[in-house]
């Protein structure tokens, strides 16, 4: 049985996974994940949406190489390569409305790029052992 009763109307997951500097996969924390999450929280508070919208710190979403990464539920919209300057646009379109920021949303091109980068980073990790 599927439970459709979510505590929040919108739930934003922001990857803040940290890895040591120089790790071939990189990490969303290194590229600004915490600042991105903080900006979402500021916007939630500014729009009096605390308790209705939640921006949670997430562990690795397993697409590190194209990060920082953000997912908006319940629409299941994946954004990659997000910067703190992009957050307000994502908030206005995907949190306040049910629209997608096309220039940031992950597409098949994103997944193909990620797959290639993952192959490279995996090889580098294996070579370093």
Q: What is the binding site for ligand FES (CB under 6 A)?
A: 15, 17, 27-28, 60-64, 67, 69
Is residue 54 a contact partner of residue 13, using CB atoms and an 8 Å limit? no
Tell me whether residue 64 or residue 95 sits nearer to ligand FES (CB atom): 64
Q: Which two tokens stand for residue 58?
A: 């997430």
Q: Shortest distance, CB of residue 17 to ligand FES, whole angstroms? A: 3
The Cα 126–Cα 113 span in angstroms is 20
Q: Shortest distance, CB of residue 26 to ligand FES, whole angstroms? A: 7
Tell me whether residue 24 or residue 67 sits nearer to ligand FES (CB atom): 67
Residue 13 Cα distances to 1, 24, 116, angstroms? 24, 23, 24
Tell me whether residue 63 or residue 87 sits nearer to ligand FES (CB atom): 63
């Amino acid at each position: 049985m599927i439970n459709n009763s979510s505590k929040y109307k919108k739930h934003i997951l922001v990857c803040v996974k940290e890895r040591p500097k120089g790790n071939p996969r990189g990490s969303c924390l290194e590229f600004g994940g915490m600042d991105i999450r903080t900006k979402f929280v500021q916007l939630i508070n500014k729009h009096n949406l605390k308790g209705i919208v939640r921006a949670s710190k997430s562990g690795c979403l397993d697409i590190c190489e194209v990060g920082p990464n953000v997912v908006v539920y319940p629409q299941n919209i994946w954004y990659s390569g997000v910067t703190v300057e992009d957050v307000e646009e994502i908030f206005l379109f995907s949190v306040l409305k049910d629209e997608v920021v096309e220039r940031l949303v992950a597409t098949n091109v994103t997944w193909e790029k990620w797959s290639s980068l993952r192959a490279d980073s995996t090889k580098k990790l294996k070579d370093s052992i």
